[in-house]
Structure 1
C-alpha cells in the first residue's frame, strides 16, 4: 500500500514539475544567489560602507531570485519576469561584483532565456508521457511476473 502512495506522489510531483519551467528557474535562482553571495551576511557597517552599491547588489540579485519564483509558481506570466531577470543579469556585470564573478550573470542569462523560451505541455503530450510510464511499468511487472494496476483503465 505504501509503495502505491509513494508512486502516486512521485507521479504528481513529476507532472507538477513538467508543467513549469523548472530548469530555467533553478538556473536563474542560482545566478541570483551568486550575485548576492558577496554581500549575504555582511554587517551593517560593511553595507553602509558600500552605500548605494550595496543596495544595487540586493536589488539585482533579489530581483533575479524573485523572477525565478514568479516564473515557477505562475508559469502563465513567465515572459515579463524572464525579461526583467535578463535585464538584471546583464546590469549585474558592471554593478554587482562583475555579475557574481561572471557565474551569476551567465546563469541568469541562460536561466531567463530558458524561462522565456519554455512552452507548456499540452494535455495530449502529458497523456502520452503518462501512457509511456504505464507501459514501462507494465513491462517491468511482466519481467517480475506480478500483476499491474496502471490506473489507465480507470482513467479511460
Structure 2
C-alpha cells in the first residue's frame, strides 16, 4: 500500500531531475563505475607498476566524480562535460579499452547529453498527455 507522502516525494524528485542534466550525469557516472569494476589488478600491483597503472584507476574515478558534479552542480555543466568526454576518451588507453568500450561509450554519451542540456527549456508534453488532449478536442 502506498504511503501518503510518496506522491509528493516522486513529484519533488521529478522537479529536481528536471532542473539539471540528469541523464547525462547519470550516464557519465555509470561509465566511470563500469570501468572501475572491470579493472583487474589490485591497488598494490598498480602502485608497483607506476603512473601508467595508477591512471587506470584515476581516470574512471574522475569520470565518476564528474558525473556526480554534473548532477549536483549543473551551473558548471559545460566545463564538467568537456573534461568528462576527454577523460572518457583517455580511458580507452589506460583502462582495458575504456571498460571494453561500454564505459567509454557511456561516458561520451553522458558528457554529450550534459553539454547539450538547456536549463530554461520548457518541459516536454508526454505522448500520453497529447493523446488525451486530442481525444478531448
What's the TM-score once normalised by structure 2's chain length?
A: 0.80
Q: Which runs of 4+ in 1 moved over 3 A?
A: 38-41
Look up the match of 1:107: 106
Q: Give the CA deviation at 1:30.
A: 1.2
Whole-angstrom CA distance in 2 between matches of 1:43 and 1:20: 35
Look up the match of 1:75: 74
Q: Does residue 23 in structure 1 map to residue 23 in structure 2?
A: yes
Instruction: Report the RMSD for the aligned CA atoms in angstroms.
Output: 2.4
SS at match of 1:68: helix
SS at match of 1:119: coil
SS at match of 2:119: coil
**How many aligned residue pairs are there?**
126
Task: Describe the shift of the 1:17–1:41 C-alpha distance in structure 2 as closer, same or farther (beyond 3 A).
Answer: farther
Whole-angstrom CA distance in 2 between matches of 1:91 and 1:111: 15
Q: Give the CA deviation at 1:41.
A: 8.1
In the alignment, is the contact (CA less than 8 A) between 1:53 and 1:95 conserved in 2? yes
SS at match of 2:38: coil
Residues 52-110 of structure 1: CA deviation (Å, up to 9, x unaligned): 12210122101111111111001111000100010001111112211111111111110
Q: Give the CA deviation at 1:121.
A: 4.1
Look up the match of 2:7: 7
Q: Give the CA deviation at 1:49.
A: 3.8
SS at match of 1:98: helix
In the alignment, is the contact (CA less than 8 A) between 2:47 and 2:54 conserved in 1? no
Gaps of 5+ in 2: 133-137
Q: Which has the larger radius of gyration?
A: 1
